[in-house]
Amino acid sequence: MSGLETRSKSTYIDGAWCDGESGETYTSWSPSTEQAVGTAQLSSPEQVDAAVASARAAFEGDAWRSYGPKDRARVVNRLADLLEKNTEPLARLIGDEVGTPIGAARGMQVGGPVEALRWYAEMAERGPRGGYSHALPLYDKPVLSTSLLRYEPAGVLAALPAYNYPINLLAWKLGGALASGCTTVVLPSPQGMQTTLRVFELIDELDLPPGVVNLVVGGPDVGKRLTGHPDVNLVSFTGSDAVGGQVMSQSALGSLSKAVLELGGKSPNIILPAADLDATVGPSILRFARNAGQGCAAWSRVLVPQDRLDEFCEKADAFIRTIAVGDPQEDATVVGPVISAEHRAKVEGMVADAVSAGATVAAGGGRPDLPTGHYLNPAILTGVDVDAPIAQTELFAPVAIALPYTDVDEAVRIANATSYGLAANVFGPLDEAMPVAERLRSGTVTINGGAGMRPDAPWGGPGRSGVGRELGEDGFAEFFEVKHIQWPLAGVTRPPGT
């Protein structure tokens, strides 16, 4: 079945496709061609209940519980195989629905999830924190006893990935659930729905026990029903901090379930005085313009020594003019469109407000001359106060601000002057950059651009960047509850205190 078709069977419950029963539909529109990608019938609140019930029955039933660590690892690896086999059509579909340029989509949007799933398969065999059970040292109060810690799957997961990396974020959540033994109900962002539907067609090929993985589609009413459901044990959400706060509230009021939230950032990129300025310009721009700036770790605040700010902006403007902005299906394209006309208008409004308040578009800016699509040229603004709205708001667009600093202490203060703390970067000699990295309030700090996204490293950050972690040992541990089992070595004893 193609993602370009209008489909009624857009809900996957208990191992079978079924019609969405809300009576409403959602059409995904290409941000580049402005043509329909596909239309799906949305799920009803009652279908959310049915999906959760199916996940609960699967979690408590014998079929899924009979899957041991090696079995679960085989399932996760098989899903990675299916994604890898379908790399090109999936990358093309993401280019059409999300707007990621095909050159990046193959690696970031499909290759990245494959690597994450392979890592989760390894973790399924190893277990969290190095094993599914750990013995504690002997304890002698009031009598000699021993204890065992057991890590057991948390239960039913509500997984809500965002649109900007629809397969990545699904793989991070679903990979951990399958590897740990949880069961799942997935609710994708409507703007990444067609891609998710195609992935679920591949998931259907896994022949899992019914109810292990379920899919509902819809808007806020479906999300509220799912995240507040009393039979959900764990919620994993990626999106804005505003919606994340609502999700946490709903999960607390529903079953007081644990919530793992990845909510974005306003990441600083510090160019130290000793850094090679020429070498930093290109990477700085490409990191905030990647995926049209629709990434939670975009380096959207560039901190430059005050006496080199003009030089940086001149070089940045020249570099931006070399960037191919346009059709995401073309291999030469570097920057594609933002997700919608409404979002572009919102971003342009914030830029206009900043300019009205005294800011200057010092590099790039404006729209490319293209007949269709919601495109923006990469842009850098100067003359922006550290606490200005555009300096504190995650834009999800290829727009950054350049902030001058007089010394490294001031650079650190400016970098930390945000309610977010997801990611940061420092350019400069390692012996100078490392002490700066250690002072930044951020879940991930790269030096000189870092390297690839490691699945064995945790992802997340403090403040409004969220709660908990994804990936890495810390992220995998989120899918478990820990049980303490203790017994005296001398047999039955009187309870302490009696």
Residues serving a catalytic function are 262
Cα within 13 Å of Cα(248), Cβ side:
17
Distance CA 475, CA 13 (A): 27
Strand (E) or helix (H) holding 40:
strand 36-41
The one-letter amino acid at 354: A
Q: Which of 339, 397, 396, 330 is nearest to 34 (CA)?
A: 339
Are 400 and 303 contacting, i.e. CB atoms less than 8 angstroms apart? no
DSSP 8-state assignment for residue 204:
H
Token pair belonging to 482: 């820990």
SS3 content of the chain, % helix, strand, coil (to 5): 40, 20, 35
**Cα Rg of the chain, angstroms:** 24
Are 445 and 426 in contact, with CB atoms under 8 Å apart?
A: yes
Coil, helix or strand for 249?
helix
Bridge partners of 145?
Answer: 139, 488
- CA 61/CA 77 separation, integer angstroms: 23
Please state the length of the chain: 498
3-class state of residue 63 by DSSP: helix
Tokens of 153: 């799957």
Which run of H or E residues covers position 425?
A: strand 423-427
Cβ count within 10 A of residue 219: 14
Question: Which amino acid belongs to residue 268?
Answer: P
Q: Which of 94, 111, 336, 296 has the alpha carbon at shortest distance from 191?
A: 94
